[in-house]
Amino acid sequence: MAKNWKQILQRVDDLRWDLSRDYKKGMRVPGRIYASEKMLDAMAGDEAIEQVANVAFLPGIVGHSLAMPDIHWGYGFPIGGVAATRLDDGVVSPGGVGYDINCGVRVLRTNLREDEFSPHVPALLNQIFRDVPAGLGLSGQLKVSMKEIDNVMAYGARWAVEKGYGWPQDLEAIESSGALPGADPTKISRRARERGVPQLGTLGSGNHFLELQVVDEIFDEKAARVMGIDEVGQIMVFIHTGSRGLG
């Protein structure tokens, strides 16, 4: 029987809920969940909040075992869980949430408007389903060699731009221009490369998605302008993926 988390959690405000250290003997810090009441109801459907408590047992953890609004059942952490640990007595957990390194969400802005875009949605969706492989373990249409995958890892988004999959100005809107200085592909195992080569350009499975969205309200005009969001009705593309088998 599902637990009534609203009775167990302590409400901080409309969007924050705390899980006391007393919930489980041995918790080193409390849990903190960022969610509306409606989101919390959705979280109660699996054991994600239980995993928030489990993360609080980690050696050296500081502050809180944190849970973002999208948490759901993961490997050890809930997916959407966050924890910081001290340098001296903490732990490094590369597989706490999972193994899809750099998994995250990115928004691509367009200059299209809803009125001009809407008639083309059915055809575009068909093309996306045809051209963007999605699902567990699927391979993509990009064919690269083992040597070329090293360039992907070293140069990141710049590699994609040089191959015609983006524009130079895209790099200006990506953190660290889409590549971390000092990235060393030689540290990556051959097995990881073998998994990653066929999955380049794929979306993945689970909670990964590619969505076409419409701006229906602007809450902060200054921040929106910085991100290139100009007006209500603008079309945006949301992408959630990661490094797939390579990570």
pLDDT digits (tens, 9 = 90+) for 56-75: 999 999 999 999 998 888 88
Would strands 61-72 and 16-19 be described as parallel, antiparallel, or unpaired? Answer: unpaired
The one-letter code for the residue type at 98 is G
Element containing residue 108 per DSSP (H, E): strand 104-113
Name residues of the chain where pLDDT drops below 70. Answer: 1-2, 136-138
pLDDT in tens, 76-120: 899 889 999 999 999 988 778 777 777 888 899 999 999 999 999
What pLDDT score does 51 carry? 96
Let me know: does 234 contact 110? Beta carbons within 8 Å.
yes
Q: Where are the alpha helices (DSSP H) in 163-238?
A: 190-196, 221-226
Region for residue 165 given its phi and psi (left: phi exceeds 0; alpha: psi -120 to 50; beta: otherwise): alpha
- Scanning the structure block, which residue is given the tokens 């945006």? 236
Let me know: does 246 contact 121? Beta carbons within 8 Å.
no
- Which tokens hold the place of 123? 């055809």
Let me know: does 124 contact 211? Beta carbons within 8 Å.
no
Residue 113 CB partners (closer than 8 Å, separation 6+): 231, 233, 234, 235
Residue 110 CB partners (closer than 8 Å, separation 6+): 234, 235, 236, 237
Note the pTM of the prediction, 2 decimals: 0.73
The one-letter code for the residue type at 168 is P
